[in-house]
Each structure stands twice: as structure tokens, then as C-alpha cells.
């Protein structure tokens, strides 16, 4: 099979993969879901023709969104993931023995089902006994759970269509209210090099809601520009002052990107990003 699939990352930037096999292709209630076997990156999931993950580099994203807050919170017992239906983020959260309960709210149940069938390297996250899956709207779910979670992850798609509401001040206020004392929220916040206005708006909104709000960055090779940003926002814990390197050290040898040194370095922002936040 000599076929290419392409994501139009911006109006002037594309990324393409040569595919060897179409594993799944359907339109769910919410979006188009395609899973391919590629020549260079193993298995690939695209939602509405946008790259969500590849087998080759998904660890870059999932390790950075998961372990930064989990290595800062003093005692993360109850964790919530909004989105993340592929299972990669909960796979990483499950590495932390302090956690008693992992709740994941994914609006599109077909993403979960297809990930478990065709993407077992991330879908295995649902096999952990602590995981409770809710196929529901995360915006509505979080409004009904006050003072309920220690760490909340916003592992969403881009801020368009049904995911747009996950990037606004009202939603962040509900997230804050759903957090317990010392609670932490982490969210993916897009690519600062080509979407500076979007990144600025997100972090401005977070500063209005949380007493602690910081950006950190990481490398994700198949995401636009490769430079990805994340928000760390909390009711008190600081991502550097309260960092617990012993938690990162105990995972040494099992992770491929995140480490204690990477944690510290991720918060060292280049000047052009400092100007945004």
C-alpha cells in the first residue's frame, strides 16, 4: 500500500505519514476516527484528520502531562482525567502507588473502544483496577463534583467544536471548585510558536482563577512545530518548590522521556514564551 495521510496542522504547515494499512475508519456521534498502521511511526490515531498520537512518540506527551503534577502533589489519592480516551494518560498515572482512584470522563466512547482494540500500548491504561470510566460530557461532569479530586488533567483535543468549552474561564473555575485543598490542574495548552494568541488567552484565564499558574513545555515530534505547552495551575503547590524528585527517581528505567532533570528544565521558558505568560 503506497498511500499517504496528511494533517493540515495550520494553513501553511502539514505533516504526512505513509500508511501500510487502514485498521479502523468510522464517524462517531462526535467526530471522525481513523487508525492506521504507518511505515515510520507504528500505529497512528487521527480524530477529524488531526494527529492524536503515534505509537512511536506518544510517550513524549503522556509522560509529560501525567508525571509533572503527580510528582508535586503532596498526596494524590483521587485523580480525574477529562478526555484522554486513548488511555495513555491514565496508563502513566497508574504508575503512582499513592493513587486510590482514577476517574476518566471521555465524551466519545468509541475512542475508548477503538483504542483498546487497536492501540493496546495506550489502551492498556483501562486495565488498571483503580480506573472508573464515565462516557459523558466533562464540562457537565465537573460541575457536579465539588471538592472531589486531588489532581485534574484536561487531556483534550484542540479548542474547536465540542472541546472548545474546555479552554474558558468558566470551565477553569469549575475545575478549581472540583479540586480539594492543595489541588492541582494540568492541561495541554497547544503550540506557542504558531498559536501565541491562543496560548496567551488560556494562561491569562488561568491566572484569574488559580493562585499558582505556570507554563511548562515539552517536545512532541508529531505535534505542530514539535514544541508543546502545558498549564500547571494549583490551589497552592508550586511545581518547583514542592517537587518531589524521589517519585521521579523511583520510575527511572521505566520511562523514556520524563525525569527529575526534565521536570525542572520544563519550567525554564525561552524569552518569547515568557512574554506570552
pLDDT tens for residues 89-145?
999 999 999 999 999 999 999 999 999 999 999 999 999 999 999 999 999 999 999
Amino acid 164: pLDDT: 52
DSSP 56: T
Q: How far apart are CA 94 and CA 49, in angstroms?
A: 29
Decide if 76 contacts 52 (C-beta within 8 A): no
Q: How far apart are CA 216 and CA 237, in angstroms?
A: 15
DSSP 277: -
Amino acid 274: pLDDT: 94
Amino acid 276: pLDDT: 86
Q: How far apart are CA 259 and CA 247, in angstroms?
A: 9
Give yes or no: 136 in active site: no
Q: How many CB atoms sit inside 10 A of residue 4's CB?
A: 10
Catalytic residue among 155, 238, 249, 261: 155
pLDDT tens for residues 39-56?
999 999 999 999 999 999
Domains of the chain: 3-54 (2.30.140.10), 58-255 (3.40.50.150)
- pLDDT average, residue stretch 182-211: 93
Decide if 151 contacts 186 (C-beta within 8 A): yes
Could you tell me the pTM of the whole model? 0.95
Q: How far apart are CA 155 and CA 141, in angstroms?
A: 15
Read out DSSP for 130-179?
A: TEEEEES-HHHHHHT-TT-EEEEEEE---SSGGGGGGGSHHHHHHHHHHE
Amino acid at each position: 500500500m503506497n498511500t499517504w495521510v496528511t494533517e493540515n496542522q495550520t494553513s501553511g504547515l502539514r505533516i504526512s505519514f505513509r500508511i501500510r494499512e487502514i485498521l479502523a475508519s468510522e464517524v462517531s456521534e462526535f467526530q471522525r476516527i481513523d487508525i492506521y498502521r504507518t511505515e515510520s511511526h507504528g500505529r497512528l490515531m487521527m480524530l477529524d484528520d488531526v494527529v492524536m498520537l503515534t505509537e512511536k512518540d506518544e510517550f513524549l506527551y503522556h509522560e509529560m502531562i501525567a508525571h509533572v503534577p503527580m510528582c508535586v502533589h503532596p498526596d494524590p489519592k483521587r485523580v480525574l482525567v477529562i478526555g484522554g480516551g486513548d488511555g495513555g494518560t491514565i496508563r502513566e498515572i497508574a504508575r503512582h502507588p499513592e493513587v486510590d482512584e482514577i476517574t476518566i470522563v471521555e465524551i466519545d466512547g468509541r475512542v475508548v473502544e477503538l483504542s483498546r482494540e487497536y492501540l493496546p500500548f495506550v489502551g492498556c491504561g483501562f486495565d488498571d483496577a483503580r480506573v472508573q470510566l464515565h462516557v459523558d460530557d466533562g464540562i457537565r461532569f465537573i460541575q457536579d463534583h465539588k471538592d472531589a479530586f486531588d489532581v485534574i488533567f484536561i487531556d483534550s483535543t484542540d479548542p474547536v467544536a465540542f472541546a472548545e468549552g474546555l479552554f474558558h474561564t468558566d470551565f477553569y473555575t469549575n475545575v478549581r471548585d472540583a479540586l480539594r485543598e492543595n489541588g492541582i490542574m494540568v492541561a495541554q495548552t497547544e503550540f506557542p510558536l504558531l498559536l501565541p494568541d491562543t496560548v496567551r488567552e488560556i494562561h491569562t484565564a488561568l491566572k484569574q482563577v488559580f493562585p499558582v499558574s505556570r507554563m511548562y513545555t515539552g517536545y512532541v515530534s508529531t505535534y505542530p512545530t514539535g514544541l508543546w505547552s502545558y498549564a500547571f495551575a494549583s490551589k497552592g503547590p508550586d511545581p518547583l518548590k514542592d517537587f518531589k524528585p524521589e517519585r521521579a527517581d523511583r520510575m527511572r528505567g521505566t520511562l523514556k522521556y520524563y525525569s527529575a532533570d526534565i521536570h525542572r528544565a520544563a519550567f525554564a521558558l525561552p524569552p518569547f514564551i515568557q512574554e506570552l505568560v
